[in-house]
């Protein structure tokens, strides 16, 4: 008899649904989920380098270059030369911020629909617990 399900068994269906939501919402703005993630990370990190964003997203430093090229070609980010002449910082343009906000709002609407069977307080608790679990690994065996 199983005393409790594995956490991955509990989280994986939710993660797949959330990934699908992000893919679809980014696609509506003609971006990939990774390109949206890059824009979002660039907004959250002060003067982020391509490497810092790739590390934050656990994304290939080599693959991120093509995505950033596309974002720059669309006028959503600007590369600014940093103190190290070999490194660039990314700056999200006003158009980039607008696109990011549009995608984020769509994602949040779809997340609310996905979790509509939970009360508002339960959704807030879920977010709090997920944030705590991902930032502070549990050492408990309970």
- The pLDDT tens digits for 1-59 are 778 899 999 999 999 999 999 999 999 999 999 999 999 999 988 778 888 899 999 99
Q: How far apart are CA 85 and CA 81, in angstroms?
A: 6
Residue 58's CB is within 10 A of a number of other CB atoms, namely 6
Domain boundaries, the chain: 7-135
Give the C-alpha distances (Å, rounded to integers) separating 88 from 8, 40, 77: 37, 17, 12
Q: Are 78 and 91 a contacting pair, CB within 8 Å?
A: yes
- For the whole model, what pTM was predicted? 0.84
Q: What is the mean pLDDT of the chain?
A: 90
> What CATH number has the domain spanning 7-135?
1.10.10.10
Nearest to 71 by CA among 44, 106, 107, 96: 96
């Amino acid at each position: 008899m199983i005393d409790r399900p594995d956490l991955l068994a509990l989280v994986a269906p939710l993660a797949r649904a959330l990934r699908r939501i992000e893919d679809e919402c980014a696609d509506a703005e003609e971006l990939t989920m990774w390109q949206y993630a890059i824009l979002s990370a660039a907004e959250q990190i002060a003067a982020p380098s391509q490497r810092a964003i790739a590390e934050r997203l656990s994304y290939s430093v080599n693959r991120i270059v093509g995505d950033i090229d596309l974002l720059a070609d669309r006028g959503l980010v600007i590369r600014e030369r940093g103190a190290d002449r070999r490194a660039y910082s990314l700056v999200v343009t006003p158009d980039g911020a607008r696109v990011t906000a549009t995608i984020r709002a769509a994602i949040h609407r779809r997340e609310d629909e996905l979790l509509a069977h939970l009360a508002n307080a339960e959704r807030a608790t879920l977010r709090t617990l997920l944030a705590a679990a991902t930032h502070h690994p549990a050492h408990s065996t309970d």
